Amino acid sequence: MIQRRRVEELWENRDLRAWLFLGVLAALAVILAVAIRGIIGPFILAGALALLLNPLVDAAERRKVPRAASVLAIYALGIVGLGAGIAFLVPVARAEFTALIAQGPAIAAYLQDLVARRHVVSVLGIPVDLQQAYASAMANLPGVLAGHLQNLLQNVFVLVNWLFQAGLTLLIAFFLVKDAHAIHRFLKDLIPFSFREDAHELAGEVSRMLGAYVRGQLIVCALVGIITGAALWIVGVPYALALGIVAGVTAFIPFVGPFLGALPAVAVAAFVSQSTGKVLLVIVLNVVISNVIYNFISPKVFGDAVHLSPMLIIVAFVIGGYLGGILGLFIAVPVAAILRILFVYAQQRVYA
């Protein structure tokens, strides 16, 4: 009887009931996230897009512009800008691809001459028979082309899936921004009353950190693309525009992004320019650009948003990659930064 009375007294504690309810919701959210981890990408991208759009929509709302209209206007401007960019880039890209295709016979002749002159080369001390490799590649070429033709329908479905996910991302981001105030009120009501001020402060700090991180990531990727394209154009590497775009897009990928972005430039320098000196120059340029941007510019762009040491960032990437693959690599740093904010808050309350 005494124990039951004690349980009833505890249950009468409003904050305790709220914390129990929050615990159940958090457990269900984790279970749901694990269950849909294969399709959770659009939701994460939508959240990142909402963080970018929300300050603009808030500013428009202060000028009496409805939130839904603001989001739709931003989408329209984005579509117009993307269309203008495509209209400008497509002719240039078509010209570059046409020129690259025209270089096909020269590239094949260069490879044949390389094989004829040097049958065996040493790669890291391992002998490689170029003639055998070339003959094997030519023998397997029809099968490879046939496989690509067979996979054409599958590639069409992949493209449709990407378009669907892009539309889903935009739709989710629209409702997140449009209903931001209602979502904020709903989450606020879930927090125990005596902790709402602290929760509001924590939410503001997390929101600022995530917004700064997303904006910084976009700025860094744009810098990588612009500087790489300009540097390749200056040194005379063909297709500098396309190579710069590739470098900027791959810069989103943590760790391996700079390496993936450099591969096409090195390949073009090797097979189109046919110059060993230019290959080395391209490699040096990519190493210098990536190191300067990631070691000197990135900290300035991100500012004090993340507050993570290099060791913690590496640990976050390792854990994120292990648990979530490529998606885990993308969200590793912001998740680690959120955990740091929560840890600092708990530490201050415990040792206050």
pLDDT tens digits along 126-182: 555 555 555 555 555 555 444 544 454 555 566 677 778 888 888 988 998 888 888
The total of structural domains in the chain comes to 1
Residue 173 within a domain: no
- pLDDT score, position 294: 73
Q: Measure the CA–CA gap between 200 and 197, rounded to whole angstroms.
A: 5
User: How many other C-beta atoms can be found within 10 angstroms of the C-beta atom of residue 199?
Assistant: 15
Over its length of 352 residues, how does the chain's per-residue pLDDT go in tens digits? 555 666 566 666 676 777 788 888 888 888 887 777 777 778 888 888 888 888 888 888 888 888 888 888 888 888 888 777 667 766 766 666 566 566 656 656 665 665 565 555 444 455 555 555 555 555 555 554 445 444 545 555 666 777 788 888 889 889 988 888 888 888 888 787 777 777 888 888 888 888 788 888 888 888 888 888 888 888 888 778 878 888 888 887 766 677 777 877 877 777 766 666 777 888 888 888 888 877 777 766 665 667 777 777 778 878 887 877 777 777 888 888 888 888 888 888 777 6
Residue 188 within a domain: no
pLDDT tens string 83-130? 776 677 667 666 665 665 666 566 566 656 655 655 554 444 555 555
Residue 105 within a domain: no
pTM above 0.75, yes or no: no
Residue 344 within a domain: yes
Residue 348 within a domain: yes
- pLDDT score, position 44: 81
- pLDDT score, position 122: 47
Residue 54 within a domain: no
Residue 318 within a domain: yes
Residue 148 within a domain: no
State which residues form the domain around 334: 306-352
Q: Measure the CA–CA gap between 165 and 43, rounded to whole angstroms.
A: 9
- pLDDT score, position 145: 47
In sequence order, the 6+-apart residues with CB closer than 8 A to the CB of 155 are: none
